[in-house]
Amino acid sequence: MNAKTMETYYNALLAKDLDKATQCLHPDIDWKSPLGQRRGRDHVIESARGFAMMLEDLKIRQSLGSDTHAMLAMDFKMKDSDVWHSGAAYASFKDGLMHEFELLFDPRPFVDFKG
């Protein structure tokens, strides 16, 4: 179930459906990535908005989860680029929503993005 929630979140970002993505996040979410940290659903979804606007395509390679945790491996491509990048996401869940969320990826495509 929790792996499906993470898949729903990323598919919503790809579709630029931030309302649907927001529904996957706990109000008190802690979010970490190579680019920084955010606390609280409103702050996290604002960062996710930036990612969604830069995102051209995303493919989930594998996801797995338990009653309290989930992890997925993904490949993503930024707008105006033919290069695919790999990443992983880990989340713990509270009340069925992502509560602690950590992203692992090479941040250079985001820092260098000029679109």
Domain chopping of the chain, boundaries: 2-111
Q: What is the pLDDT of residue 28?
A: 98
Query: For 4, phi and psi rounded to 5 degrees?
Result: -65, -35
Q: What is the pLDDT of residue 112?
A: 62
Q: What is the pLDDT of residues 25-55, one digit of tens each?
A: 999 999 999 989 999 999 999 999 988 999 9
Largest CA distance in the chain: 40
Q: What is the pLDDT of residue 113?
A: 55
Q: What is the pLDDT of residue 109?
A: 67
Q: What is the pLDDT of residue 110?
A: 67
Q: What is the CATH number of domain 2-111?
A: 3.10.450.50
Instruction: Give mean pLDDT in consecutive 10-residue pieces for the chain, a chain of 115 residues.
Output: 95 98 98 94 95 95 96 94 94 97 86 57
Q: What is the pLDDT of residue 107?
A: 85
Closest CA relative to residue 56, chosen from 15, 89, 18: 15
Contact at 8 Å (CB) between 34 and 107?
yes
CA distance 80 to 82: 7
Q: What is the pLDDT of residue 1?
A: 81
